[in-house]
Structure 1
Amino acid sequence: MRKTDFFMKAGDPKALTVEQLMQDAVVRCTSRTDASTIAHMMTHRNFGSLPVVEEDGTLIGIVTEYDLLQAMLDGRDLRKILATEIMSTHPVTVTEDQTLAQVADLFQDRYLTRVPVVRNNQLVGILARRDLLYGYMKASQYWS
């Protein structure tokens, strides 16, 4: 859930922080999760990517639709591939204290659709472009 869901009055939308905008209930997988399971989770929940974490929650990578499609095009059996084999390591991340203005620039400059949110390398949320728009609209009082 986003903290912007609880806004009571308008404010400066560009001053919103990632903590206010992010989704904090993040579906994730481990490096040992097979690609077929990841594809199932992503398609059934309408996700475009899935963060990969260690047992302690440390972010180690991200599996995207692109990664899965590439494995399929290469003729690989998704049931026999682990996340660690196809994930993108060192994904672009943001922190909770960054502002909407800062992350909007990052999204535009890097052509991103979503980024993991970390605190001390621990996954604490996910932020999508849609979350930025939603927060902007709520803070601007376009929605009540």
Structure 2
Amino acid sequence: MPNLVRDVMTADPATVSPRTTLLEAARLMREADIGEVPVVEGRRLVGILTDRDLVVRGIAPDLDVHEVPVSRVCSTDVVSVAPDDPLEQAVAQMRDRAVRRLPVVDDNAVVGVITIGDLAMAKEPGSLLAEISNAVPNV
């Protein structure tokens, strides 16, 4: 059974720069079938952009998705975990911060992402959440 973040994380995640437009980020998320994307300068984590950020902070207030950079709507107070952290630490971070996804950072560089679905599949493979997380997307 996996015990460390590195055992269940998605390595080398898609990322965007703070200057990426909302539209470019949304298209990347659609193409990669992801609900969040780390915002990085170089490989250093500076924020996180979720599909909810795009809708609530970008589209709903009628920002110009062709021009507005993700830095205007992403969260910058981001919690992360390291690849060698125990899975229980990722669970605690998600619970304490009420988030479903965490960037995985090693030596100040984003090296992965771990989601609540990843944790469900690792810890409770027969659970309803694991089954949903493992389902083929209906894009």
Does TM-score exceed 0.5, indicating one fold?
yes
Structure-2 residue corresponding to 1:97: 84
Determine if the alignment matches structure 1 residue 111 to structure 2 residue 108.
no
Determine if the alignment matches structure 1 residue 75 to structure 2 residue 62.
yes
CA drift of 1:137 comes to 4.4
TM-score (norm 1): 0.78
CA distance in 1, matches of 2:12, 2:5: 14
Q: What SS is found at the alignment partner of 2:62?
A: coil
Query: Unaligned stretches of 5+ in structure 2?
Result: 126-139
CA RMSD of superposed structures (Å):
1.6
Q: Which amino acid aligns with 1:123?
A: V
Q: What SS is found at the alignment partner of 1:126?
A: strand
Q: What SS is found at the alignment partner of 1:115?
A: strand
CA distance in 2, matches of 1:73, 1:90: 22
CA distance in 2, matches of 1:79, 1:96: 35
Structure-2 residue corresponding to 1:42: 29
5 Å matches for 1:26-41? Answer: 26-41=13-28
Deviations 1:67-100 (A, max 9, x none): 2112111111111111222221131111112111
CA drift of 1:20 comes to 1.0
CA distance in 2, matches of 1:31, 1:97: 27
Whose Rg is larger? Answer: 1
Structure-1 residue corresponding to 2:48: 62
CA drift of 1:121 comes to 1.6
Q: Which amino acid aligns with 1:76?
A: L
Query: Does 1 or 2 have the higher relative contact order (CA < 8 Å, sep 6+)?
Result: 1
User: Identity percentage over the alignment?
Assistant: 30
Deviations 1:72-131 (A, max 9, x none): 111111111112222211311111121112211222222211110001221011000111
Q: Which amino acid aligns with 2:67?
A: K
